[in-house]
Structure 1
């Protein structure tokens, strides 16, 4: 099973930059998108149901803001939206598609422009993740977690230790997710290379210099550790200021 995650930074803007052409060429089973920034009823069939794909979306209440989506090759058994708390659900930040052996979710963490709100979101999301670990289903949570976990995940980390997305309390929160809670950073299970970034604040210049952040993850439970076979990032895909994360699982 191949799963791709991509923050599109506004799906209509991404389409103008070639998103649908890129999607057409993917041999993946599921493609999760984040930061859709439009109501799904405004997309039209060309974006919502491109050839070979069926798209599902969870809209934010506010226009032109946040939102998530999942493109599937095969129809899932069920699609569910929301985390059960307002900070997430009013902004369309989590949805999941259930298949026979696994659920694949698309997730968008707040950026942190409002630090108090991001802190509250993280507290509530951690409660959700704690409950999720008790479920018998396996999960792959794809998306923009908006935190660079390790120094390996951020260029010029020395100069960014107080920057949003790399603050000590945010990294400590990620330590909890990948530590006591037992979740797995699927990408790092098989790829420990340097300069593995998914986001560049000054997109073209920083991509060329490889001055980026790894903010986009695929997170699984420990039972899928051995199922992760291959993982890579394609920074040549320039439909947004994020790059897609590809992971192949043996399911």
Structure 2
């Protein structure tokens, strides 16, 4: 019964100080996908590389203190792949893949476009190259779970203040339409929404104002999966009892 967790750490060192790895030890997870390491290989201690006996694989950004992804696997993967073949975005450390048997688990950190128009253009470029890659993944015929911070709230239910955010990065019509294509054209599944259709299931809160206290959040962290394994998902939760970063871990249990 695999348990797969996705967690944007907003800095692996910061999350460690806030107790992330202690919490991880209690979760009995088979895979833990992490994003936004904000660390280089030289910064990674043994506790970060192989906590509690997990096998860690990581994709570091070339730019210091920026981006980065990783997958912790309880079983040693048959294969691990760093990057998805885009020179621009592989330099930013956005993709780590691990294969165990017929299951592929991927940690992805899609770009944010909120800091500048230039970064929004980069986000659109990422979307242009990542969609065909998702198509290729599906064509492999494996069961795939792509976990991570997609930096897009798909529908109105997925953020508190959707009306005032329609012209903001993360809820632009083009971004939402792209997510719809991932699900409707490619046939991949938003696993969380397949189990839980309730509103206010947010995974990220701005550090500005009282966003966390008032639950003014966004659902931008997903498990996106092939239909076979998506159909085996039976429990989902967002862990909010402790705060390791501005995101909350998304936990989904699959019956295999």
Query: What TM-score, normalized to structure 2?
Result: 0.95
1:122 maps to 2:123: no
Quote the offset at 1:204 in angstroms.
8.4
RMSD: 1.2
Which stretch of the first structure deviates more once superposed, 20-29 or 176-185?
A: 20-29
Contact 1:60 1:92 in 2 (8 A): yes
1:100 equivalent in structure 2: 101
Alpha-carbon displacement from aligned partner over 1:158-208 (angstroms, at most 9, x marks no partner): 111111100001000001001111010011110111110000012783122
Q: Is the 8 A contact 2:75 2:100 kept in 1?
A: no
Show structure 2 runs of 5+ residues with no match. none
Query: Take 1:137 and 1:12, find their aligned partners in 2: how far apart are those partners?
Result: 34
1:89 paired with 2:90, answer yes
Q: Aligned equivalents of 2:55 and 2:96: distance in 1? A: 15
What TM-score do you get using the length of structure 1 for normalisation?
0.97
Q: Does 1:2 align with 2:3?
A: yes
Pair 1:166-2:166 in alignment: no
Q: Is the 8 A contact 1:191 1:232 kept in 2?
A: no
> What do the CA deviations read for 1:11-70 (whole angstroms, capped 9, x no partner)?
001111111211121111110000001112321112212223222211111111001011
**Which secondary structure does the structure 2 equivalent of 1:119 belong to?**
helix
Correspondence for 1:199 among 186, 198, 204? 204
Unpaired runs of at least 5, structure 1: none
Corresponding residue pairs, total? 251
8 Å contact kept, 1:198–1:215: yes
Tell me, yes or no, if the aligned pair for 1:40 and 1:48 is still in contact at 8 Å.
no
- Asked if the contact 2:205/2:217 (under 8 Å) is kept, the reply is yes
Partner residue of 1:188 out of 193, 215, 235: 193
Is 1:215 matched up with 2:220?
yes
Relative distance call for 1:115 and 1:21 in structure 2 (3 A) is: same
Partner of 2:49: 48
